[in-house]
Amino acid sequence: MVFEFLKGEFIDVISWLDDTRDTMVWRFDRRGQAIKYGAKLTVREGQAAVFIHEGQLADVFGPGLYMLETNNLPILTTLQHWDHGFRSPFKSEVYFVSTTRFNDQKWGTKNPIMARDPEYGPVRLRAFGTYSMRVADPGKFMTEIVGTDGEFTADEISFQIRNIIVQEASQVLAKSGIPVLDMAANLADLGKIIANAIAPKVAEYGLSIPEFYIENISLPEEVEKALDKRTSMGVVGDLHRYMQYSAAESMGQPGSAMGSAMGAGMGMGMGAGMAQNMGPWGSSPGAAAAPPPPPPPPPAAAKVWHLAVDGSTLGPFGESDLARMAGEGRLTRATMVWTAGQDGWKMAADTELARVLDQVPPPPPKP
């Protein structure tokens, strides 16, 4: 009776219910690590149980219900002699290993990656993304990484995995030869190359990387600003026409400097008109007074010209500038010119500039 009672007291239940999101390994705590003969071991889906006996890996159990007896512990049986009478407990450690995926793990480059771009030359790149990991070999993971840690979380290994990823990502991006502006269209292919490169290294830890993503590859902020300016210039097109349009548009803005000047000029004109209507000081508006002389007509605006040189538009130039350019040989009779009111571009010899060209002296005689 006493023997049967003691035998029943040693029956135990070993299981693990994980209520966390990041625990990878959990050790079943038992006082003195005394596992009872005939104990029931429950391993659920997404788990594995690793037996460590006297510092050695004894066995690995997949999902299922096990009775810890000699018939299902063949490896452990070779390590310890079993008593056939009292069947005393044996001292072993049981570690539960989560074999599910640990998703949304972050990675990113701390320092820029130097690469040679086919268009821009040497550039500095930054990259970041996410990945998922899982324990593929629980025994190797225990012996290589966990050791005797009673509770091991994903954060304890993610730093090392990030270092491996960044090292391989730096080499892949530097050797890819893909232009910076085309990398966004090749993120999936680059991610597969990096994932294949890191797979053998993480396998040495008993891990695998089921998913790997590159979310973004970016340039330094100052370089991105320069690219934005270059893009803006491409959108603007003809810079001279854009400046003319901006100047004309600003004339109609009340708050602009040009608009204020126009407003001041209009105000002065209205004041002068009111003074004329008031008449001389001290006299009534109806008193006879000599009408002021009419203002002189405003001088005609000087005509300005634009030149077409090597596919670009230069100008505007006044007549004095054109005379100097003609003397320097920069304006010839065949130069294409245009001025306001002219129907398209014409050769200078077919316009009013012919008289300017006629004033250019011929080359001096040879001595």
Query: What is the pTM assigned to this prediction?
Result: 0.56
DSSP string, 261-274: HHHHHHHHHHHHHH
Residues 43-82: tens digit of each pLDDT: 999 999 998 877 788 889 999 998 876 555 544 444 444 4
Instruction: Of 315, 355, 348, give the one whose Cα is nearest residue 333.
Output: 348
Q: If you average pLDDT over residues 95-110, what whole number do you get?
A: 93
Helix (H, G, I), strand (E, B) or coil at 114: strand
Q: How far apart are CA 335 and CA 61, in angstroms?
A: 91
Classify domain 305-358 by CATH number: 3.30.1490
The model's pLDDT over 117-138, given as tens digits with 9 standing for 90+, comes to 887 788 889 999 999 999 999 9
Residue 111 binned pLDDT confidence (cut-offs 50, 70, 90) = confident
Alpha helix (H) residue ranges in the chain? 2-9, 74-79, 138-141, 155-175, 187-203, 221-236, 239-251, 257-278, 319-328, 354-358
CATH number at 102-224: 3.30.479.30
In the chain, where the domains are located: 2-98, 102-224, 305-358
pLDDT score of 170 more than 70: yes
Q: Matching CATH topology for 102-224 and 305-358?
A: no
